[in-house]
């Protein structure tokens, strides 16, 4: 009986290792799906994510945006001051300090700042963000947030990155 129990523990550990390895593969597939979005759909994804979190998110749309892509409010009509202003960069290069400074100086000045980048930030950009209390979110954290809030996202946003829930044994 004792040997059987040890074998079960070993098999369970092997199963957990397999699941963790597969989880990394799945997260990379989701990361690839997000990375393939065009910049406008990336902006829609961020607005949908903020909506799923309980905010009324408003995209600024195409064209010059003054450094802000998404505004997020608590009230449904957007009459209160925005709580969050978000910039979304879906570039092949890293975001520089110039873009972070542009976000911090953009209206509304009193709103908290989120900066999403799918290709990271330069060292100077990270320093500026830290000094200005800008919350930065890179691709790996974005993937985790999408997975966590996916069920609450609007259906048109879910359609951008199609996911399916999977159950595994305990």
Domain boundaries, the chain: 37-158
Tokens of 156: 């048109």
**Locate tokens 């974005």: which residue?**
142
At 113, give phi and psi (nearest 5°): -110, 130
> Rounded distance, CA 140 to CA 105, Å?
27
Residue 16 has pLDDT above 90, yes or no: no
Global pTM reads 0.81
Cα-Cα-Cα-Cα torsion 78, 83, 85, 90, nearest 10 degrees, comes to: -100
Domain 37-158 of CATH type 3.40.1350.10: yes
Contact 161, 27 (CB under 8 A): no
pLDDT tens for each residue of 90-129 = 988 999 999 999 999 888 888 899 999 999 999 999 999 9
What is the radius of gyration, based on Cα positions, of the chain?
A: 20
> What is residue 170's predicted lDDT score, i.e. its pLDDT?
60
């Amino acid at each position: 009986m004792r040997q059987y129990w040890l074998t079960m523990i070993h098999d369970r550990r092997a199963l957990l290792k397999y699941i963790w390895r597969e989880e990394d593969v799945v997260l990379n597939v989701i990361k690839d799906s997000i990375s393939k979005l065009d910049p406008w759909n990336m902006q829609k994804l961020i607005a949908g994510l903020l909506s799923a979190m309980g905010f009324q998110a408003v995209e600024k749309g195409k064209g010059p945006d003054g450094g802000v892509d998404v505004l997020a409010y608590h009230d449904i009509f957007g009459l209160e001051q925005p709580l969050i202003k978000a910039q979304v960069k879906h570039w092949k290069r890293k975001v520089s300090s110039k873009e972070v400074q542009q976000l911090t100086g953009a209206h509304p000045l009193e709103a908290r700042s989120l900066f999403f980048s799918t290709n990271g930030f330069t060292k100077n950009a990270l320093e500026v963000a830290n000094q200005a209390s800008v919350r930065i979110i890179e691709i790996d954290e974005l993937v985790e947030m999408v997975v966590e809030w996916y069920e609450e996202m609007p259906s048109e946003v879910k359609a951008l990155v199609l996911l399916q829930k999977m159950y595994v044994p305990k």
